[in-house]
Structure 1
């Protein structure tokens, strides 16, 4: 038995009090509005909040009517957050319960909702947060980093979303919807310039081609110079620079009872990969070492990142009167290569010169996807009878086939390649699903959904060799046969097949026209995962994980539509959760299944016009997560202070630990104040701030690999004229120049990486 229960956490009374208040106060405020009152003329003309439309239930609805915890980002807030050439990680902590991090930089974001995600950095991994771009799922983790430009709205749906969005969405879904073509001629051009010779250009133009055809073309280009100097005479003089471009072309046909929207898109990224820095954490603390200089490193390995992706989709719909038929066909493909100096320094401890700090041995690796294809097809029919009962049903098909290459290099011998592995993974899946809505009374509505999925994966090691520092080095060369000899059955392939049923049930009760109460229970699952055998570990296969979540909340408009508050509480359980034990003293990466993990907490989204010229938003969330498996133990780092109980063999017992990269608290606030100038101009100030509490980087708990709380803010000061058609602004991101370790490498020293630097600049936008 483990002594770990003493470490188990319970939600604080303070957190529960806030959650209860968040549920009660808006309903009380809205009910108070029902009392007869004479409205002052100033209130009658006051600015009110716009209705927010979402597609959380695969159809357009008012966000206040949807019985799901969902947040959106759009409009000026989206414009401000994307200033300065930021990638999709800008959303992290800007939405309650959402965290995004990456050990690949811009190429491979990892999403977490309510503390539930996946830290695995391998290119054949899956995530429990699904990303959907223009109604097409982006399954491979590299596809999830597509740039955010010319976007109408971002929706964050908290999970599970297994019924309507399918597998690999037990934690939730992040949806991006591009601005659609229209018959009206319009578009915009935007150019920004900032520190480190940063350039950010994007633009779009669209309009009618004929009475039935319209089109829209969008482009993006971003670049930044290296801002970190390499003081060691290695193959790179500097790091953290990039240039990135992307484009999207859409064509829309609108006929009598038929609509077709076609989309072609592509992305190119060239730059440096995530920069690892050796021994930047002070032993016995989680502080940066004295004298740490974020602008300098000393590494002897090559750092480089390349990425090319392309895709196309066709969204067709037929209006058949009482029914509507949809067909969504999607194709995605990506090629990528990322190489980095994993030890974060130069030399090795057994050489005359090495550093900074202790470098046990040199490690320089790369991973890439040379070939990839993903095909998706969905057919869906929905009713539109105008009665109290409506439904939708569909069929989903998924097919993916790709290779993953892994390389190792000898940094001490001019960077020559000394290892290689190539695997092939295929994934074929199909599902049938349905959902129904029943308006029991004008005030009470029930919804239910169900999905049955068959999901099959197959992984094969096609080539392997290694002459470097690995167990079979004494044989002169590791081969595919020697690798197979490490397996109990001598088989390097795996082909798990899952058959899962997911469902959800929810209810909405309208207290009045301004207040809705809702409750929901839902299930979801993530398919089996496979990790190929390597030099330091054998093949590992993780069984599918399943989740069940309960949530209840309130959605209310009050103060005469000048304020809105959506709040809810939740509890979820994940059975057989897939975890990745990364590194440790043995440098092995293996997949594990935890018996169970749980999460509980609350979320709140609030926005209000405090005056006609001052709009304030506030988002807050509390997430208490815990691994529950008394016998689960993992390898630990060789140079850090582990605080978990240990087995006789030195492994850490992780029962009671919070999930990795799962902050308990996140808060975000924005404020936008404007002052009219003349007849059609405005001077404005927009500021945004985000906070997340401390996080564990790995499954075990240690002093050094506990990330400190992080606060980052932004500021935008500008002037727009001609009724907003033209806008000139100065901006700053990470305005306080906060520098924190946001991730680590579980190597044999205290290697880590830090957050993005402060960026300041100017931006001009013209719309037409």
Structure 2
């Protein structure tokens, strides 16, 4: 078995690197042998801030993909939340059991299925240079965004704790002295309305501002047919509102940027379909209807989210250095109540809430701007979060009366010092080394006032636990310019995720702890511009080992989580990211990734569902042995293809855009079973329209469809005592009008 895996890995490495280098060599040779052909279009140079300074993405020794422009607009249409990025970027998947809040990110197979509101994740989200730690903060709507960057692999040196898998980074459109703005409105299936807009410009010759707003609304469309609880249009709707205001001051050697943002969402949680999965298969039951549920408590289902935050970035340009200070504050509240088992059997109606959450961050860094061979960054970082969580249980048979209540309190303090050095060996070779020391402390308490279970399991209970750890993260990388169009890079990186606590004691009596996980990653790749600027081929191969990976044993017939550490986890694969100008009128992108993950722990075992067909070995305690399993929600294959056609027509441009995304099979839980293996998912989107300009205005009208073939299947599950599933979004058809002004 081991010999075969080494052979597979070697084959993947050779094939990926050969395809990238061979393709580059062929096109370079062809260009040398043929007379130059004039091109009317070239791929734009993508500038990113993956290393906290503006750089050409092709020259950064990090596996990074960026979304911007037309692709970002097309993907996020149809009132989509942040999950629109699922399977749109190599090795990235996103899911949620809460719906439009609490997204869970997975990069190279590493993520966290934990549904408790204090869950930590190994993929960090950074918005406008401020980390969004709590999962509810990660669900902030995406609008007026200039660029999305996904950094794959450990990012612990510059971005700190809880980034062993990678980082998702959003940069919103910033104020400028130029007056501009836009407004767009769309209408689509199920009465969905999506409006967003922004306007900005100069207030004085040094001060500018930008105001951005979003309003999304969708009608309830899911009928409840539970006998005695019948209700038309009980679930499925939401109203989501958000706004952002920014002020930018630009002095001679000083800039200051203030950002305030707010969100208010009132809607319904993601619908749970009880007994939706046919026993002995992973098919939906015959006659499944996505707009029908059978709940005894659908009328009480609700999800309310409020969040706000502010940041202040101050930057001083000195003679040979730049000093940057970033202060951030984020706050979130949520209350989400649902019929978890998805049936009329009164088994599990519960709610989770955050009545109070405050996060404060401060980063101060010094960056050199020398013209010589050596440059560096050094900095300090501080993080402070106070989080209160409430867990509720309700007796659905008694009109939803409260029969259980737990309050959790978690206070987290972390600080770090970091540094990174870039050394230019010669015109072709650049080396980078980074180091970060992090210290992390958590104080946790869980108090059960009363519970729904009988006896001691429902009696008052109070548990306190504290955890702490420190770690030195590091990375070494090299970037070698093979020629003007081809760069080779290699990177070794080490990072960690701080200890986690879990105290969902509403249905249990245990607070579990997961020790810190550490990862060491090795990767190498080629970044190349080909066809005289008409093509771009980036390819990466990687291998990582993770010690003491933090895992969450979700479910197993119970409504609580248990934290575990796996002795060792390995992962390897490749990523291919390409862009092409096929003709003056046709552009394309294609990406592909392969990720193979494996748990290696002979003693690791978890409880399983009561009614499904488990395929793992079962030990003498009735637990599933996990050794050799892949990680949950970790598809081996992710691929995406886009085509954009543009044609001049009657003084404007007709355009048509299509994207096709694919992810292979996934396991929903740590254990493997027939019913809880998600099928491969293929989704297609289309967008077509016409744009034109008149004076200082640009107009666009378009029609679009998501999930063109209306393919619906199970994408998540609850494993209490019935085969409860969650399904992907149905086909969505809409039309949009947009105007830009200058």
User: TM-score, normalized by length of structure 2?
Assistant: 0.97
User: 1:533: Cα distance to partner?
Assistant: 5.5
Equivalent residue of 1:649, what SS? coil
What residue in structure 2 maps to residue 612 of structure 1?
584
Please list, as runs of the form range in 1=range in 2, the aligned pairs for 1:177-256 lying within 5 A after superposition. Answer: 177-232=171-226, 233-234=228-229, 237=232, 238-256=234-252
Query: Out of 66, 73, 81, which is 1:79 matched to?
Result: 73
Query: Out of 550, 554, 565, which is 2:526 matched to?
Result: 554
Q: Following the alignment from structure 1 to structure 2, what is the Cα–Cα distance between the partners of residues 96 and 338? A: 32
Aligned CA distance change for structure 1 residues 51 and 471 (closer, same or farther; 3 Å): farther
Query: Out of 711, 734, 740, which is 2:707 matched to?
Result: 734
Asked if structure 2 preserves the Cα contact closer than 8 Å seen for 1:409 and 1:418, the reply is: yes
User: 1:465: Cα distance to partner?
Assistant: 1.3
Q: Following the alignment from structure 2 to structure 1, what is the Cα–Cα distance between the partners of residues 24 and 530? A: 9
User: 1:421: Cα distance to partner?
Assistant: 0.3
Query: Out of 371, 374, 379, which is 2:364 matched to?
Result: 379
What residue in structure 2 maps to residue 753 of structure 1?
726
Asked if structure 2 preserves the Cα contact closer than 8 Å seen for 1:583 and 1:589, the reply is: yes
What residue in structure 1 maps to residue 339 of structure 2?
341
Q: Deviations over 1:339-385 (max 9, x none)?
A: 1101100026xxxxxxxxxxxxx111100000110000000000001
Query: Out of 450, 453, 458, which is 1:469 matched to?
Result: 453
Please list, as runs of the form range in 1=range in 2, the aligned pairs for 1:110-189 lying within 5 A after superposition. Answer: 110-189=104-183
What residue in structure 2 maps to residue 20 of structure 1?
17
Equivalent residue of 2:567, what SS? strand
User: 1:23: Cα distance to partner?
Assistant: 3.4
Q: Following the alignment from structure 1 to structure 2, what is the Cα–Cα distance between the partners of residues 48 and 205? A: 30
Aligned CA distance change for structure 1 residues 328 and 758 (closer, same or farther; 3 Å): same
What residue in structure 2 maps to residue 478 of structure 1?
459
Measured on the aligned residues, the alpha-carbon RMSD in Å equals 1.8
Q: Deviations over 1:87-144 (max 9, x none)?
A: 0000000001000000000011000000100000100111000000000000000000
Query: Out of 47, 57, 66, which is 2:41 matched to?
Result: 47
What residue in structure 1 maps to residue 472 of structure 2?
501
Q: Kindly indicate whether residue 60 of structure 2 is the aligned counterpart of residue 62 of structure 1.
A: no
Q: Kindly indicate whether residue 519 of structure 2 is the aligned counterpart of residue 525 of structure 1.
A: no
Q: Following the alignment from structure 2 to structure 1, what is the Cα–Cα distance between the partners of residues 230 and 206? A: 56
Q: Following the alignment from structure 2 to structure 1, what is the Cα–Cα distance between the partners of residues 656 and 14? A: 34
Q: Following the alignment from structure 1 to structure 2, what is the Cα–Cα distance between the partners of residues 471 and 735? A: 53
What residue in structure 1 maps to residue 617 of structure 2?
645
Asked if structure 1 preserves the Cα contact closer than 8 Å seen for 2:612 and 2:673, the reply is: yes
Asked if structure 2 preserves the Cα contact closer than 8 Å seen for 1:23 and 1:568, the reply is: no
Q: Deviations over 1:158-198 (max 9, x none)?
A: 12000000000010000000001000000000000001000
Q: Following the alignment from structure 1 to structure 2, what is the Cα–Cα distance between the partners of residues 168 and 513? A: 36
Q: Kindly indicate whether residue 438 of structure 2 is the aligned counterpart of residue 453 of structure 1.
A: yes
Long gaps (5+) in structure 2: none
Q: Deviations over 1:235-289 (max 9, x none)?
A: 9642111110000000000001000011000011111012111111111110111
Q: Following the alignment from structure 1 to structure 2, what is the Cα–Cα distance between the partners of residues 470 and 155? A: 50
What residue in structure 2 maps to residue 35 of structure 1?
32
Asked if structure 2 preserves the Cα contact closer than 8 Å seen for 1:398 and 1:430, the reply is: yes
User: 1:28: Cα distance to partner?
Assistant: 1.4
Q: Following the alignment from structure 1 to structure 2, what is the Cα–Cα distance between the partners of residues 704 and 392? A: 51
User: 1:234: Cα distance to partner?
Assistant: 3.3
Q: Deviations over 1:35-54 (max 9, x none)?
A: 36421xxx324210000000
What residue in structure 1 maps to residue 296 of structure 2?
300
Asked if structure 2 preserves the Cα contact closer than 8 Å seen for 1:27 and 1:554, the reply is: no
Asked if structure 2 preserves the Cα contact closer than 8 Å seen for 1:732 and 1:761, the reply is: yes
Q: Deviations over 1:666-697 (max 9, x none)?
A: 00010000110134x01110001100000000
Q: Following the alignment from structure 1 to structure 2, what is the Cα–Cα distance between the partners of residues 7 and 639? A: 35
Q: Following the alignment from structure 2 to structure 1, what is the Cα–Cα distance between the partners of residues 728 and 444? A: 35
What residue in structure 1 maps to residue 603 of structure 2?
631
Aligned CA distance change for structure 1 residues 557 and 5 (closer, same or farther; 3 Å): closer
What residue in structure 1 maps to residue 326 of structure 2?
328
Asked if structure 1 preserves the Cα contact closer than 8 Å seen for 2:9 and 2:572, the reply is: no
What residue in structure 2 maps to residue 584 of structure 1?
556
Q: Following the alignment from structure 1 to structure 2, what is the Cα–Cα distance between the partners of residues 198 and 268? A: 17
Asked if structure 2 preserves the Cα contact closer than 8 Å seen for 1:269 and 1:307, the reply is: yes
What residue in structure 2 maps to residue 544 of structure 1?
516
Report which stretch shifted further, 229-238 or 403-412: 229-238
Aligned CA distance change for structure 1 residues 586 and 47 (closer, same or farther; 3 Å): closer
User: 1:229: Cα distance to partner?
Assistant: 1.0
Q: Following the alignment from structure 1 to structure 2, what is the Cα–Cα distance between the partners of residues 259 and 674? A: 39
What residue in structure 1 maps to residue 662 of structure 2?
691
Q: Following the alignment from structure 1 to structure 2, what is the Cα–Cα distance between the partners of residues 220 and 160? A: 33
User: 1:470: Cα distance to partner?
Assistant: 4.5
Q: Kindly indicate whether residue 341 of structure 2 is the aligned counterpart of residue 368 of structure 1.
A: no
User: 1:463: Cα distance to partner?
Assistant: 4.6
Q: Kindly indicate whether residue 266 of structure 2 is the aligned counterpart of residue 270 of structure 1.
A: yes
User: 1:587: Cα distance to partner?
Assistant: 4.5
Q: Following the alignment from structure 2 to structure 1, what is the Cα–Cα distance between the partners of residues 532 and 210? A: 37
Aligned CA distance change for structure 1 residues 282 and 462 (closer, same or farther; 3 Å): closer
Aligned CA distance change for structure 1 residues 462 and 647 (closer, same or farther; 3 Å): closer
Q: Following the alignment from structure 1 to structure 2, what is the Cα–Cα distance between the partners of residues 170 and 706? A: 26
Q: Following the alignment from structure 1 to structure 2, what is the Cα–Cα distance between the partners of residues 455 and 324? A: 28
Q: Following the alignment from structure 1 to structure 2, what is the Cα–Cα distance between the partners of residues 115 and 24? A: 26
What residue in structure 2 maps to residue 767 of structure 1?
740
User: 1:451: Cα distance to partner?
Assistant: 0.3
Equivalent residue of 1:107, what SS? coil
Q: Following the alignment from structure 1 to structure 2, what is the Cα–Cα distance between the partners of residues 500 and 558? A: 42
Q: Following the alignment from structure 1 to structure 2, what is the Cα–Cα distance between the partners of residues 465 and 157? A: 44
Q: Following the alignment from structure 1 to structure 2, what is the Cα–Cα distance between the partners of residues 22 and 334? A: 47
